[in-house]
Amino acid sequence: MSVYLEAAVDMKDEIEEIWTALHGMPEPPFQETKTAGFIAYRLSEAGFDVKKGLADTGIVADLGDPAAGDLTGPVIALRADMDAMRHDIDGREVWVHSCGHDAHSTIVITAGLMLARRCAGARGRLRLIFQPGEETGLGAGRMIEAGAVRGVDALIGMHLRPVSECRVGQATPCLWHSAGRTLSYSVVGKPSHTGRPHLGINVADAVAMATLAVNNVKPDPLRCATVNVVALSAGDGPGGVIPERGSLTVNIRSESDQIADELSSKVDGAVRAVVAANGAEAGLKREKQMPAPRYDEGMIALARRAIVSVLGEGGVVEKITTPGSEDFHWYARRTPRLHAAYIGLGANFSPGLHHPDASFDKKALVYGAAILAEAAADFLNSGISFEVGCEGRRM
């Protein structure tokens, strides 16, 4: 049995205690103050040099080496996200850890604790990154600007997988996310009395027609891509008033950034043209962008060795292509020297990601922590030869 799997099994009660604490404090993006405070306390206790307040609530924790002072290369970082998701339940707005970010933070904390106790080479060369605001698509970029990956050579992320993709006791060293674009529009018309509609510009008509126009943007069926209207509104006043204001949100997923950008351009043109044809005006309030992955062959091989060490050859799923997206990929996109891999961890997550009643098998916490610790120890003890492939693939 892997030494880190043995250690994680021994820490099972501690791991579940950490997860229970984090699960009980779900917080909105960039407001993860309790979460950050808890993480900082646990890591400071273990001897990490903790820096708080990056990108509002983010944390960078370096395993210090009293002899060396600052981090010395090559350096590996493990990254987790912290934010919860908003759900409307029984007419109330509540925040729920329905995407497993509490689990990811638990896994990275535990991997860090094990490496601090068992891997002398980790001192001065290990960094843990706890990122806010992943669901907004802005968290990784803000952490980069705050210096979270400055001096880091290698970065590994991990995400629990829904039961349809990967079961507990399995993991993939290559979770291939989709590129994502979310276009949010405000639509403005002109109010009037409903008995005199010719004096106004009905935003309800404009939003409805724009929805039909978006549905006519057809991706190439031979390429993996989807275009969906995911939210729309028009007016919120009395029934006798032609509504003046509305909104429309469109989500795009595709196998590449190029396709996502092409579809975004088509959607934008369709929305603006149809809204204008109705006499109204559409303004793009925000475009959320999630990039396609950029991985390194050497890092994928490193992740695979760690999975085999913990779960055996039978536990490896070589590659999973998922329609989900991740802002993790901004780290490698915006830091060319950074070599990255992203592990998909089987967890029997059901009914599915982003469902308010989501749950998973807690054995995944033990396996995930052991896999990340194995991968980091492998990197720190033996080094790694990076092989850069083509842009956006490195496969």
Q: For 112-135, what is each residue's pLDDT tens digit?
A: 999 999 999 899 999 999 999 999
Half-sphere exposure of 319 (CA within 13 A, CB side): 10
For residue 69, the cross-strand partners are 65
Name the packing angle between helices 101-118 and 363-382 (round to 10°): 50
What is the rounded distance in angstroms from the CA atom of residue 261 to the CA atom of residue 319? Answer: 25
Q: According to the model, what pLDDT value does residue 70 have?
A: 58
In CATH, which of 3.40.50.720, 2.130.10.10, 3.30.70.360, 3.30.420.40 is domain 179-290?
3.30.70.360
What is the rounded distance in angstroms from the CA atom of residue 281 to the CA atom of residue 128? Answer: 46
Q: According to the model, what pLDDT value does residue 256 have?
A: 93
Q: According to the model, what pLDDT value does residue 388 have?
A: 45
Q: For 360-391, what is each residue's pLDDT tens digit?
A: 999 999 999 999 999 999 999 885 655 543 33
Largest CA distance in the chain: 81
What is the rounded distance in angstroms from the CA atom of residue 191 to the CA atom of residue 142? Answer: 40
Q: What is the percentage of the chain residues whose pLDDT exceeds 70? A: 94
> In the predicted model, what is the mean pLDDT of residues 305-312?
98
CATH of domain 3-177+293-382: 3.40.630.10
CB contact at 8 A, 283 and 186: yes
Q: According to the model, what pLDDT value does residue 390 have?
A: 33
Q: According to the model, what pLDDT value does residue 66 have?
A: 55
For the ranges 68-77, 176-185, 285-294, 297-306, which has the lowest average pLDDT? 68-77
The Cβ of residue 309 has, within 10 Å, a number of other Cβ atoms equal to 21
pLDDT, mean over the chain: 94
Q: According to the model, what pLDDT value does residue 392 have?
A: 44
What is the rounded distance in angstroms from the CA atom of residue 135 to the CA atom of residue 282? Answer: 25
This prediction has a pTM of 0.91
CB contact at 8 A, 186 and 202: no
Half-sphere exposure of 151 (CA within 13 A, CB side): 15
The Cβ of residue 77 has, within 10 Å, a number of other Cβ atoms equal to 27
Q: For 15-52, what is each residue's pLDDT tens digit?
A: 999 999 999 999 999 999 999 999 999 999 999 999 99
Domain ranges of the chain: 3-177+293-382, 179-290
What is the rounded distance in angstroms from the CA atom of residue 253 to the CA atom of residue 178? Answer: 6
Both tokens of residue 241? 């008033």
Q: According to the model, what pLDDT value does residue 389 have?
A: 39
> In the predicted model, what is the mean pLDDT of residues 217-245?
92
Cis preceding linkage at 162, omega within 30: no
